[in-house]
Structures are given as structure tokens and as C-alpha cells.
Amino acid sequence: MIPSLTREDLKIIGYNLRNAFYITGVFLLVPIVVAAVYREFNTVPYFLIGSALAFIIGNLLSFFLRTEKEMEVKHAIVMVALAWLIAPLLASIPIWLANATASYLDAGFEAISGFTGTGLTVATGIDYMSHSINFLRHFLQFVGDGVGILVISLSILGRTEMSSVLAFKGESKDVGIRPSVVRTSRIIIGIAVTFLIIGTVLFTIAGIREGLDPGTAVFDGLNHSMTGYATGGFSTHSQNLLYYHSILFEVVAVILMIIGALNFNLHYAVLGGKRKEILKNIEVKVLLFWLLATGLIVSANLLNTNVYSSVEALFRKGVFHAISAQTTTGFQTVYPSHFALVWPALSIFVLSIAMIVGGSANSTSGGIKMLRVGVLFKSFKREVKRLLLPRSAVVTGSFHHIEDTPLTDKVVAGAALVAISYIVFFSIGTMITAAHGYSLEDSMFETSSALGNVGLSCGITSPAMPATLKVTYMFLMWAGRLEIIAVLVLMGFVILGLRRGIKK
């Protein structure tokens, strides 16, 4: 029987949540540097208010809920799920105060979309947005999805106890790079910063070459590098990457999107000299297969229906969006309404599947993840083999992911559980969207984009969309980022508290 909730449980969760408040408070101070550079001093108070509130609440939690008791698994999962709600709630304050959105709900939507690395936007007047608020949107994607809120807090606070390991896992990050979580989190940050610098340099060169003034090239380069690596998809312009009309810019984006969609462990292994790992790793093989299949089907379909005819157009529209969907980035070079009105149904369907399947586990991508898809494929193959062989035969299986791992029933069940959860949430989200009067095709596309933390839009997501749909997508983005299970545990926690009350 599941034990009832106690006040101590709530105290443990509340006390450990303080780090999420503190780290969000620090995040909200960073855009002040951008405000100073661009002399946008009128925006500074917005960040001060958001940051101060984060520190005040964090202090209160730290003082009144102080406990020496260690977190258990249930505490860690609930704490992580709540942290991913609280951080956007605080980050939405400057966005709302700056009038970057039409309402506080929209500001919350924008912040959740940022932190979860989704990229769906309801911001109004992105082209007139202050540099500091625009930077904040991109920065949220980098720290939220590119690295992870708790990964950063662990690396700064240097905590090594069991609770840190649990929190780390709750944020869908693997602890396996190095034995210590602190060391691992610092490696993840190191990898992210390395690619951020490389991406910024490449985007800046591309921008200057394509006619941007150097200041804009650096600012846009930094922001797109943050959202490209984080597979986030926010852009500094309302036209997204179409603004640049540049194949060079799109090629740099493709490189960053693919790097972001690869496993941190793989980056670490390759950077450590294990280059053959790229060829042997199950996730890389499955990701390449899906990218190739999605790109080919979408391009062939677009060619066949005469939407685009030249090879360059098929790459810049077909292949580009296949990569953007598969890596769950959401960079877009066509108008949202073109997905709904011009693109053929097969392409929309294939992109929807790609968005739900997603990139690699322990990467910046969302979705079910390639490792799980690979494991499920292997288990299907094993089952078929088992049925073909005599009953006395023992059928085993394994897969290579950094090291050779046996394909046990536990591994397969874990992968299947997450995949089924995604399919259930996708179906519910699609039904809710369709119930608002949108076509089934568009509903599938937008729901998979929200749940897979992608950001490609066929035009449903806008400031004018119904509030109920905004809340639905906010929930899907949050659930998708936490790989659903953490959300279910939090729901169980709340139901338990409501049914049995909270004991002393």
C-alpha cells in the first residue's frame, strides 16, 4: 500500500525546491547585461522584480521548511516536476511587464515554451521586442532545455548526495558520463558552452556574409546558437529563419540542430577520442535512419505535388523541416499557414510522427527518443526470432549505446511505458485541439509539436487561440519535457493528498 503523505514530505519537497527559485533568480539577472549593452535601461526593473521575487520565495522556503532529511525518489520526482512549473512562472514576469505578450497567460505560455525548449510562440511584435526581453526568451531555451535547470544548480552548488542524483534523473538527464553528478553536470555545461561559442561564430560569419550589420549578426548569431543547440526554435524575428533568405544560415542551423539532438554521452565519448562510437551507437543509427526516411518522404511528396520543384528548394524546405521536426527544434522557413494550406497531408503526417519520435535520449531533444525507439525495434526483432525458432531455443539480444547492453525485459518495458504514455497524451491533445474546430491533420501537427517540444506551427498557436487550448499546450509542453512519468507521479501525489489528507 502507498503510504499517506506527511507534512515532512511536503517540507522535504519545499526545502529542495529553493534551488529552483535561486537559480531562476540568477537567470533573470543575466538579461540586464544585454539591456545595458543596448541602453534599454527601462527594461531593467522588469528583470529586477522577477529576480527579487524568486530570491524572496527561495529564502522563505529555505528558512521555514529547513530539514536535514534526505529526498526519496517520490520527493525528487515531484520536486523536479514543480521546479519546471515554478521557473517559467517566475520567468514570465519580465515578459509580461514588458508587454511582450497580450496577457499574463500568454507570458506563461512563452516562458514554458522557452524553458521546455519548445519554441511555439504567442509573443506579439517580436520584431519590435527589446533586445533584453528577446535575449531572455532565447536564454531560457538554452538554460532550460539546452542544459537543464537542476543540472546548473547542481554544478554551482556542488551537492553530491543521493538527492542530487535523483533530481538529475528526474530532469531526464543521465548520470552515467562521470561517477559524480557534479562532475557530470559540469561536463554537460562545458559541452553546451563549447557548441554555443562555435554556433555563435558560424552564425555571425553567415550573417555578415549575407548582408547583416555586424551588431545584428552577433546578436542574432548568439540567440540562434542558443536555440539551435538547445533544439528550441525561438527566433529573434517573427519570420523565424525565413527572415534571412539564406542557405548558409540554414546550413549552420542544420549542423547545430543535429549536434543538439545527439546524446551528451556520445559527445563526451567522441570528444574523449572514441570516434568509432558514432558508427556503433544504436541511437545514431536510428536517428540517421529516421532523418533520411523523413527527409526523403517529405521531399518526394513535395516534389510529387509540385509545391517545390528545384533541388535547392527541396533541401531548404523539405529536408530542412524534416531535420527541424526530427531534432525537435522548430526552426521554420515557411509561413505557418503554408503547412496547413499548401503542404500535402502526407508530409504533415510524416513530420508529426518525426516530432513525436524526437532525437536522442540525454540530449536537448524532446519526444519519445531514439534510444527507446531502437530498443523497441530490437525487441520486435527478438520476438519475431523467438517465434520462428524451436521452443527450446534461448533468444537473447543486446544493443550498443556507449557500451554493449543486454536487451532485458525491464529495459523494453521502460521504453514501451514512455512510448505508450506519449501516444496517449498525443491522442488526448489531438482530440482537445480538434474539439476547438481545427482539422484533424492540423490538430495532430500542432499537438505533436507541443508534446514533442518542437515548435513548428501550422498556424494554430497564436495570441488569438482559445485560452483553453493555450493551457492544454502549456500542459503538453511541460509533460513532454519531463517525459510524462514525472507528471503522472505528481498527479498521484496530489490525488493521494486529496483523498487521504496530509498526516503529521
Partner 1 sequence: MNWKVCFLLVLLLMLAMPLASAESGRELIENSSGYDGKTVSFRGEVIGVMIRDDFAWVNLLDNEGYAIGIWCPAENAKAILFIGDYSHVGDSVQVAGTFHMACAEHGGDLDIHAENFIIVATGQEVDRPTNLPIAALGVALMAVAILMTFYLRRIRKEKQKILPWPSY
Q: Which residues bind partner 1 (CB under 8 A)?
A: 25, 38, 40-42, 44-49, 51-53, 55-56, 59, 62-63, 66, 97, 124-125, 127-131, 210-212, 237-239, 242-247, 307-310, 312-317, 333-335, 337-338, 341-342
Residue type, 438: Y
Cβ at position 36, least distance to partner 1 in Å: 14
Q: How far is the CB of 16 from partner 1 (least distance, A)?
A: 17
Element (H, E) at 380: helix 370-388
Q: Smallest distance, Å, CB 406 to partner 1? A: 47
Closest distance between partner 1 and the C-beta of residue 296, in Å? 17
Which residues fall within 8 angstroms of residue 37, CB to CB, at 6 or more apart?
Answer: 131
CA atoms of 489 and 504, how far apart (whole Å) = 22
- If DSSP codes are grouped into helix, strand and coil, which group holds residue 33? helix
- Please say which residue, 307 or 479, places its beta carbon nearer to partner 1: 307
Name which of 58 and 480 has its Cβ closer to partner 1.
58
Nearer residue to partner 1 within complex by CB, 246 or 364: 246
Q: Are strands 502-503 and 5-6 parallel, antiparallel or unpaired?
A: parallel
Of 339 and 425, CB closest to partner 1: 339
Q: Buried (b) or exposed (e) across 407-436, using 16+ Cβ within 10 A? A: beeebbeebeebbebbeebbeebbebbbee
Phi, psi of 405 (to 5 degrees): -125, 130
Minimum Å gap between C-beta 317 and partner 1 is 5
Q: How far apart are CA 265 and CA 441, in angstroms?
A: 36
Residue with cell 543538439: 260
Q: Indicate the residue among 52 and 270 with the shorter CB distance to partner 1.
A: 52
Q: Which residue has the cell 533544439?
A: 231
Phi, psi of 287 (to 5 degrees): -60, -45
Amino acid (1-letter code) at residue 300 = A
Closest CA to 420 of 372, 491, 464, 360: 372
Q: How far is the CB of 159 from partner 1 (least distance, A)?
A: 18
**CA-wise closest residue to 330 among 151, 137, 200:** 137
As a whole number of Å, the end-to-end CA separation of the chain is: 19
Closer to partner 1 by Cβ: residue 100 or 451: 100
DSSP 8-state class, residue 146: I
Distance CA 71, CA 216 (A): 46
Min dist CB 191 to partner 1, Å, is: 32
SS3 348: helix
The nearest distance, CB 114 to partner 1, in angstroms, is: 19
DSSP 3-state assignment of 199? helix
Least distance to partner 1, CB of residue 415, Å: 37
Q: Which is nearer to partner 1, 334 or 373 (CB)?
A: 334
Q: Least Å distance between CB 158 and partner 1?
A: 18
Answer for the pair 463, 364: CB distance below 8 angstroms, yes or no. Answer: no
Nearer Cβ to partner 1 (63/380): 63
Beta strand 502-503 pairing with 403-406 = unpaired
Instruction: Decide whether 201 or 242 has the Cβ nearer to partner 1.
Output: 242
Element (H, E) at 400: strand 398-401
- For 253, the grid coordinates are 542551423
Q: How far is the CB of 26 from partner 1 (least distance, A)?
A: 12
Shorter beta-carbon distance to partner 1: residue 253 or 261: 253
Neighbouring C-alpha atoms within 13 Å toward the C-beta of 362: 23
Distance (Å, rounded) from C-alpha 465 to C-alpha 388? 53
Sequence-distant (6+) residues with CB within 8 A of 342 are 307, 334
Q: Which is nearer to partner 1, 28 or 402 (CB)?
A: 28
Nearer to partner 1, 106 or 277 (CB): 106
Residue placing its CB nearer to partner 1 in the complex, 52 or 395: 52
**H-state helical runs in 305-364:** 311-313, 320-326, 336-341, 345-357
Write down the least CB distance from residue 79 to partner 1, Å. Answer: 21
CA gap 207, 184 in Å, rounded: 34
Least separation in angstroms between residue 315's CB and partner 1 is 8
